[in-house]
């Protein structure tokens, strides 16, 4: 049976600043899903989001010394890097050209005859995107990515009760937005 390693945020930061490969693997394993979801929400293209995610982790690895715990949590710092990288990706000329040159047939045949209602089709993702960042990431991980509340708590290194409270608040806010 393989032993599962858990790091506190301060231990993880120390090991990352020492360029510890196991710590970096741990960071990737525990945070890549959440960061990818945030990037994909902005970029809207899976391949571009995956490429951007790789760039984000390289940037995190190179700039870990610039992280300041007095300004916020490690996850928040990484999320800002991911968000900025995603925005940069959408502004890049290469990305703009691929969007302009995308063939119509790519989506037409996927949607033809589909009776399934997707969350994007009813504007749910747009509503979720309007939530507070700390709520949005929880809703995305829970409802769009399929993570359990316990998994989310471990992934984001926050108490399970906090995850439940924030999700409840986010769902109440979504309910209000849907009624408007």
Q: Is residue 2 part of a domain?
A: no
How many angstroms from the chain centroid is the CA of residue 33? 6
Range of the domain at 161: 113-180
| SS3 call for 64 | helix
In this structure, the answer to whether residues 49 and 86 fall within a common structural domain is yes
Q: Is residue 108 part of a domain?
A: no
Asked if 164 contacts 61 with a C-beta cutoff of 8 angstroms, the reply is no
In this structure, the answer to whether residues 149 and 86 fall within a common structural domain is no
Domain boundary among 81, 102, 123: 102
In this structure, the answer to whether residues 14 and 88 fall within a common structural domain is yes
In this structure, the answer to whether residues 49 and 134 fall within a common structural domain is no
In this structure, the answer to whether residues 136 and 170 fall within a common structural domain is yes
pLDDT tier at 177, thresholds 50, 70, 90: confident
pLDDT tens digits, 104-146: 444 544 544 444 444 444 567 778 878 888 888 888 888 777 7
pLDDT at 7: 85
Q: Rounded to two decimals, what is the model's pTM? A: 0.54
CA distance 3 to 158: 22
Please give the tally of structural domains in the chain. 2
Helices (H) and strands (E) in the chain, counts: 10, 0
Closest CA to 80 of 70, 71, 90: 71
Closest CA to 61 of 25, 99, 7, 87: 25
- For residue 48, what is the domain's CATH number? 1.10.1740.10
């Amino acid at each position: 049976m393989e032993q599962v390693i858990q790091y506190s945020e301060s231990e993880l930061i120390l090991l990352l600043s020492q360029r510890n490969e196991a710590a970096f693997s741990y960071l990737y394993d525990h945070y890549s899903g959440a960061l990818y979801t945030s990037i994909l929400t902005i970029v809207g293209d899976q391949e571009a989001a995956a490429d951007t995610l790789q760039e984000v982790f390289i940037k995190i690895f190179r700039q870990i010394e610039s992280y300041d715990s007095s300004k916020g949590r490690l996850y928040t710092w990484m999320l800002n890097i991911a968000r900025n990288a995603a925005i940069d990706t959408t502004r890049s000329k290469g990305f703009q050209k691929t969007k302009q040159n995308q063939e119509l047939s790519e989506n037409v045949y996927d949607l033809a005859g589909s009776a399934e209602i997707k969350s994007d089709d009813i504007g749910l993702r747009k509503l979720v995107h309007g939530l507070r960042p700390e709520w949005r990431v929880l809703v995305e991980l829970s409802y769009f990515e399929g993570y359990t509340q316990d998994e989310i708590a471990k992934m984001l290194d926050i108490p399970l009760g906090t995850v439940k409270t924030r999700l409840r608040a986010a769902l109440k806010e979504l309910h209000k937005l849907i009624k408007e």
